[in-house]
Structure 1
Amino acid sequence: MGKKTVHVSDFSGKFLQPGDEIVRVVVLEHPDLVAGPVQLEATPAEIEGIDDASLDVAVVEIYDGHGGGEPRRVVLTASEFDELATDVPMAQLLRTAERVKPPKPARKPAAEKLDYATLEHAGKPHRGKVTEEEAQLVREHLDEINRRLAEEGVRQIDPADPEHAARYGFPVSDAA
């Protein structure tokens, strides 16, 4: 059994033949659009007049306390918007108006700081200084901590290693 895919114009419902050119139309804003942008498919002939029907519009945001502090977005014809300027022509007003800086991209939340003075994190490699609380936990619970470190795929602590001995306060062997 096989599968066959057919393309149908979203605008007219007509079946599109293999080899027919398909135009993708993404609707960004529309009064009936409720869940964000959508994609439609059509033939070039079905949308050829779209550029002729386009309007010169002004899209503005109004910050006036309505809407619980959120701005209202309004779309109006450019000529209607231009008529609002009565002292200076709108073109001149727009050239000399104060620029709005685009919003800064949201910062990634800072990585959660680990508390190495807990059994959950003690002994994990880190750049910071080992506190006495962490060192004591490592000395008192070495087997448990090494088991956790091994499960996490992290290096284990060896009290015979001079670096580990100094870092976690193990007695240094004089066998060298």
Structure 2
Amino acid sequence: MGKKTIRVSDFSGRVLQPDDEATRVVVLEHPDLVAGPVQLDATPAEVESIDDAALDVAIVEIHDSHGGGDPRRVVLTASEFDAMATDTPMAQLLRTADRVRPPKTRRAAEKIDYGSIEHAGRPHRGRVTEEEARLVRERLDEVNKRLADSGVRQIDPADPEHAARYGFPTPD
């Protein structure tokens, strides 16, 4: 018995033919998004209007005493943000403002064991050990739930890259 993979547009439900081009849309932020970024498949025609509908926005973090000291992330139109600068034009302020450097990350003194169920399947640059691949194959639902809960991409056995990395059978 063989398997047949049928690709469909997540937007319209339209079946994509083998020679149809598919466009991958990664949703980074959305009010209904609960477990981190997700990807959707669409046809190029379905997403060609996205650029036209795009808004010019400013995304800012407000660091104050509200929210227990954690910064608040706010999205507003660029024109609303620009209007807040009343003395000097916002474009000039942004050119001359102090740069924010990302915080330095400390390397963990302890090496992460991706061959354990707590870390198996997490994205990493190193080689996937047979133990990690076995855990991912045998406990895929558990691994994907943990990855989703931590906002990390999930493993899709139908994805050729994931299939090769974790030893899933590839469709012929």
Alignment TM class, shorter chain as reference = 0.5 to 0.7
Alpha-carbon distance change, 111 to 23 in structure 1, aligned in 2, over 3 angstroms: closer
Q: How do residues 57-96 of structure 1 correspond to structure 2 at under 5 angstroms?
A: 57-96=57-96
Which residue of structure 1 aligns with residue 13 of structure 2?
A: 13
Distance in 2 (CA, whole Å) between partners of 1:66 and 1:34 is 23
Q: Mark the runs of 5 or more structure 2 residues left unpaired by the alignment.
A: 112-172
Q: How do residues 135-174 of structure 1 correspond to structure 2 at under 5 angstroms?
A: none
Distance in 1 (CA, whole Å) between partners of 2:70 and 2:107 is 23
Q: Per-residue deviation at 1:45?
A: 0.4
Which residue of structure 2 aligns with residue 110 of structure 1?
A: 109
Distance in 2 (CA, whole Å) between partners of 1:43 and 1:67 is 41
Q: Per-residue deviation at 1:110?
A: 2.8
Distance in 2 (CA, whole Å) between partners of 1:111 and 1:18 is 46
Aligned residue pair count:
111
Which residue of structure 2 aligns with residue 97 of structure 1?
A: 97
- What residue identity is the alignment partner of 2:107? K
Q: Which has the higher contact order (CA 8 A, sep 6+)?
A: 2
**TM-score w.r.t. structure 2 length?**
0.62
- What residue identity is the alignment partner of 2:16? L
Q: Per-residue deviation at 1:103?
A: 1.4
Q: Counterpart of 1:81 in 2: which secondary structure?
A: helix
Which residue of structure 2 aligns with residue 44 of structure 1?
A: 44
User: Deviation per CA, 1:109-130, whole angstroms, max 9, x where unpaired?
Assistant: 3359xxxxxxxxxxxxxxxxxx
Distance in 1 (CA, whole Å) between partners of 2:80 and 2:60 is 12
Alpha-carbon distance change, 52 to 111 in structure 1, aligned in 2, over 3 angstroms: closer
- The alignment's C-alpha RMSD in Å is 1.4
**Identity level (%):** 77
Distance in 2 (CA, whole Å) between partners of 1:66 and 1:32 is 24
- What residue identity is the alignment partner of 1:50? I
Which has more radius of gyration? Answer: 1
Q: Counterpart of 2:39 in 1: which secondary structure?
A: strand
Alpha-carbon distance change, 76 to 4 in structure 1, aligned in 2, over 3 angstroms: same
Q: Per-residue deviation at 1:4?
A: 0.8
Alpha-carbon distance change, 10 to 111 in structure 1, aligned in 2, over 3 angstroms: closer
Distance in 2 (CA, whole Å) between partners of 1:95 and 1:25 is 32
